[in-house]
Amino acid sequence: MRRRAVPAALIVAAGFSAGAITVQEIRADGAADERAPTGARPLSQAVSGLPLPLRPAFTVGRPRLLDAKEARARFAPALEAVEARARPRFDAATVARLTRETEEGTTNVVLVLGEVRGPRGTWVHVRLPVLPNGRTGWVPRSALGGYRFVHTRLLVDRARFTVTLLRDGRPLLRARVGVGRPAWPTPAGNFYIRDKVSGFDDPFYGPVAFGTSARSAVLTDWPGGGFVGIHGTNEPQLIPGRISHGCIRLRNDDILRLARLMPVGTPVTIR
């Protein structure tokens, strides 16, 4: 019997031969042969009219070893007002109410100390900006936004009138400060930076001020509840010394340097 002829089909191959586009012909016997079409162009010319590839959404960086001295702290914004509990349970006693905004109208944040997962969801152990200073509590994970990380820590030495900013344990900045007078002492303990504000009408606060979670134990009737701030001053000649109602004052050049290096969420230790 004569084999019936099958029309050939032309397919543009994915490969390239000798710098020209190759055409692959499927013959009637099922075999394939390759040939360069008449007038074939070099590859560089053939693809010159194609659109550029899309830029990747991100580039994977080179892996690096973690520094043995690397230290990170976590903080998270409050998405809603919520009761902080003594234990990670909804039926536990309330220790404080966490608000969504600070007294300055900025987003309230809390320093994260840890978390646990239970049958009714994840609970987060946080440091609270309430009296008595140092109080902690548990809030549902759903009440907080995404975790953010900082590598900085601020140390305030009331006896030496100094402030030191560390990044992963290494000093970045040291400056002289003024602290609270004996009648209105700057409280000691572990706190964190809640917010950063600027643009004051009163030069008393200098160009920048940080709000901390520390609160005065003797000036609780002050506007906003007597929170301890870290700010500049229009009286730099008084620094160092015991000069304030509890706030920590820096010379304006120093507070501007600190503002460039210290993010919100930084843990603060006052001793």
Catalytic residues: 231, 247
Q: In the structure encoding, which two tokens stand for residue 111, read together?
A: 């320093």
Residue 178 in contact with residue 195, Cβ under 8 Å? no
CB-count exposure of residue 195 (10 Å: 0-12, 13-18, 19+): buried
* Distance between CA atoms of residues 176 and 163, nearest Å: 6
What one-letter code names the amino acid at 37? P
What one-letter code names the amino acid at 46? A
Residues 6+ apart with CB under 8 A from 47: none
Whether cis (ω within 30° of 0) applies to the bond prior to 187 is no
* Distance between CA atoms of residues 89 and 167, nearest Å: 35
